[in-house]
Amino acid sequence: MTDLELELRNLAPHLDIPEAPPLAGAVLTRLDRHRRRRRVLLVAVAAGVTALAVALAVPSSRAALLRFFHLRGAAVTAVDRLPRLSPGRPLGVPIPLGSASFRLLLPNGPRPERVYAGDGGYWLRYRGLLLFEFENTNGSEILKKAALGTTDVEYVDVDGEPGIWIGGRHALYLPGGPPRAAGHALIWQHGRLTLRLEAAVGREQALAIARSVR
């Protein structure tokens, strides 16, 4: 070992590193919360199955509702045909990143090219990726989506928080606007926020991006 290496090693005890806080309690509480959420999710899936059974039992609704998925502030309905879809519309008013009413969560990697306030939340535009974040305070659904029954729609787990993956073209309804055409998307809860990611990526890549948000 050279002198410089020895000096570095001898420096270590002099570094001002705080005592490690006990972590086990907090970690176990979070794991327990995660287990409970999974149980809730299973109940939600069971409720969806029941809704499907009811829908199929009633002939008049057989053509409309095939499956139903729900998250806080968002709902996805699987239907047999999509409505007429409008192309994209302006995302809202451009704002600086730091001026949102809550701290915006960012995926790992470059910062967003633009941030817009609109549709009851914030749109973060990246190259090839669109992220929408909102805080659901009154329990209403801000995001409503309709996907064809043949489209891959499923509940997913994003680091212990529930999410819905939509692996195909679908209709996105935002408050006060016509249904918009949307591609692959992942919606998930993150603490108090609900996020929606839209990008031409597969399920695993979308989940990896979602798991990286901080």
Nearest approach in angstroms of CB 46 to other proteins is 22
Nearest distance from residue 145's CB to other proteins, in Å?
A: 27
Q: State how far the alpha carbon of 69 is from the alpha carbons of 107, 164, 187, in Å.
A: 25, 8, 11
Site for other proteins in 25-44 (CB under 8 A): 26-28, 30-31, 34
Binds other proteins (CB under 8 A): choice among 86, 150, 205, 212: 212
Residue list 72-111, contact with other proteins (CB under 8 A): 106, 108
Q: Which CB atom, from 68 or from 165, has the smaller least distance to other proteins?
A: 165
Please state the closest distance from residue 32 (CB atom) to other proteins, in A: 8
Residue placing its CB nearer to other proteins in the complex, 104 or 142:
104
CB-side exposure of 176: number of CA atoms within 13 Å? 4
Other Cβ atoms closer than 10 A to 7: 9
The helix/strand/coil state of 155 is strand
3-state class (DSSP) for residue 36: helix
